[in-house]
Amino acid sequence: MMAIRDGGEPEGGGLTWATRLRDAALTGVIALLLFAPLTGVTLTGYALEGHWQRPLWLAAGVVVGRLLIGLFLEARRARPPVESAQASEKVGWIDRNRPFILGLALACALILPWFIGKYWLNVAILALIYVLLALGLNIVVGLAGLLDLGFVAFYAVGAYGYALGFKYLGLSFWLALPSAALLAGLCGILLGFPVLRMHGDYLAIVTLGFGEIVRLVLNNWMELTGGPNGVRAPFPSLFGLEFGRRAQPGHTTFHEFFQIPYSSETRDIFFYLLLLMVVAGMIFVVRRLRRMPLGRNWEALREDEIACRSLGIQPVTVKLSAFGLGAMTGGLGGVFFAASQGFVNPTSFTFMESAHILAMVILGGMGSTGGVIIAAVILTVLPEVLRDFAEYRGLAFGMAMVGMMIWRPRGLMGIRRARFHRSEVGR
């Protein structure tokens, strides 16, 4: 154990190969001890089934990884440290052409649905929903620095708000969108109250508890929510035009109105574009907020709450606004999710879902809007592409979270900060 610790942090000059190998070997032995009982044998009923080669391969992998990481760390230490302040002064190619790239991305996103087919269109819709969720969580975690592990609760409030609102009150999608979002925002603020005085870890575990409470209630309150059976949520209509094959009595369908042949894709394209508009609006709002006093206060709160108070900022208002806005965004995502799935049930709102969204925020770089969007899209699309590896998704998320925190705590993209220049006139 000692050898490994010493090896991990060499003092001064390089290490000899002997020490490196000894470290690696020791790590390997420990890895073997860890892996052997759990991967070497599988429980089948009360008996065991041997897979002796698995732990050996895993341990070998760990040994090689250990060696490589050790060498990499040494190499990095040998290089002179990069002047981070200098680096941030540079204006990159991306920054200079930003409006152009944004326009291009939007144009691509607009024409995309006509080219990718039904299956991928649904993936794209899901990706956009996750973008919305990740943007919402990014406000709470990335900007305000409040680690919320129960974000999925607001997602659930939005989704169930729509589904139950339709079932009991006959709320249409268009009415449900703002009202469910507001309801989720209100829940966010209500949840925010008790956790105002908590920091870091306590906040994380309490929000985790809240998230589970919401899910368990949805699951167990059979009379209201139908429990595990879920609730139906209808698809939205456009100005009273429906997207089904046949209209309900007294209504017209979209394809009849425009005299075009019926296709189930039409409705998905419509839904995609609607969602895209909402996401674009949300991106605009978040980008503005980051340059506004409220957004700055969130970040200031993340950096140092005590300093904030000494400057006359009320942490209470700032925190509640972050919770509220984040939850509202999550609620919006929930409404869209419910409408796109056609029905909701509690299995969509487990802790894994919260962790999934959190992974997007972390990989994108906490606080970075662009990074979070890209991470959300990639993390939704990638598992679809790599279907065969779907099993390993949770494992990969976990590893990504640990690895990011160790090597790139500020995300893969880095964060662009607003820059100020002196105006020519008054000084």
Partner 1 sequence: MRPPPLLRVRDLTMRFGGVVALNRVGFEVAPGSVTALIGPNGAGKTTVFNCLTGFYAPSAGEMRFHAPDGVEVALHDLLGGPWRGADFASPAAFGWRLYYKMFGGAALAARAGVVRTFQNIRLFREMTVMENLLVAQRAWVNNGILSGLLATPAYRRAEAEAIERAWHWLDFFRLADDGNRLAGSLPYGRQRRLEIARAMCVEPRLLCLDEPAAGLNPSETHELAEWILALRRGHGVTVCLIEHDMGLVMEISDHVVVLDHGQVLVAGRPEVVRDDPAVLEAYLGAPEEG
Partner 2 sequence: MVNGLVLGSVYGLIAVGYTMVYGIIGMINFAHGDVYMIAAYLTAIFLAALTALGLHAAPMVILLVLALTMLVTALYGWSVERIAYRPLRASNRLAPLISAIGMSLILQNYVRLSQGARTQGTPTLLDGGVRLFENGPDQFVQITHAQILIVVTAVVGMGLLWYLIHGTAIGRACRAVQQDRVMASLLGVDTDRVISIVFVLGAGMAGVAGSLVTFNYGSFDFFIGFVTGIKAFTAAVLGGIGSLPGAMLGGVILGLAESIFSGFVNTDYKDVFAFSLLVLVLIIRPSGLLGRPEVEKV
Q: Identify the CA nearest to 379 among candidates 351, 412, 357.
A: 357
Sorted by sequence, the CB contacts under 8 Å of residue 141 that are 6+ apart come out as 147, 148, 358, 361, 366
Alpha-carbon separation of residue 204 from 151, 157, 296, 301 (angstroms):
10, 19, 22, 16
- Which residues here bind partner 2, judged by CB under 8 A? 1, 4-5, 30, 33-34, 37-39, 41-43, 45-48, 54, 145, 147, 149, 194-195, 197-202, 204-206, 208-210, 212-213, 216-217, 220, 306, 351, 355, 358, 362, 366, 391-392, 394-395, 397-402, 405-406, 409
Rg of the chain, C-alpha, whole Å: 25
Sorted by sequence, the CB contacts under 8 Å of residue 420 that are 6+ apart come out as none
Residue number with CB closer to partner 1 (45 or 426)? 426
* Binding of partner 1 by 135 (CB under 8 A): no
Output the smallest distance, CB 366 to partner 2, in A. Answer: 8
* Residue of 74, 256, 299, 384 interacting with partner 1 (CB under 8 A): 299
Output the smallest distance, CB 334 to partner 2, in A. Answer: 21
| Partner from partner 2, partner 1, none contacting 3, C-beta within 5 to 8 A by type | none
Residue number with CB closer to partner 2 (27 or 340)? 27
| Partner from partner 2, partner 1, none contacting 313, C-beta within 5 to 8 A by type | partner 1
Q: Do residues 39 and 55 touch, judged by C-beta distance below 8 A?
A: yes
* Binding of partner 1 by 419 (CB under 8 A): yes
Is the Cα torsion angle 108, 110, 115, 117 positive or negative in sign? positive
Output the smallest distance, CB 128 to partner 2, in A. Answer: 25
Q: Do residues 286 and 369 touch, judged by C-beta distance below 8 A?
A: yes
* Binding of partner 1 by 304 (CB under 8 A): yes
| 167-196: contacts with partner 1 (CB under 8 A) | 196
Q: What tokens were used for 239?
A: 């100005």
3 state DSSP class of 230: coil
Q: What tokens were used for 132?
A: 């919305």
Sorted by sequence, the CB contacts under 8 Å of residue 356 that are 6+ apart come out as 379, 397
| 45-74: contacts with partner 1 (CB under 8 A) | none
Output the smallest distance, CB 182 to partner 1, in A. Answer: 15
Cα–chain center distance at 247: 37
Stretch that binds partner 1, among 105-113, 221-229, 299-307, 342-350 (CB under 8 A): 299-307
One-letter identity of residue 421 = H
| Partner from partner 1, partner 2, none contacting 281, C-beta within 5 to 8 A by type | none
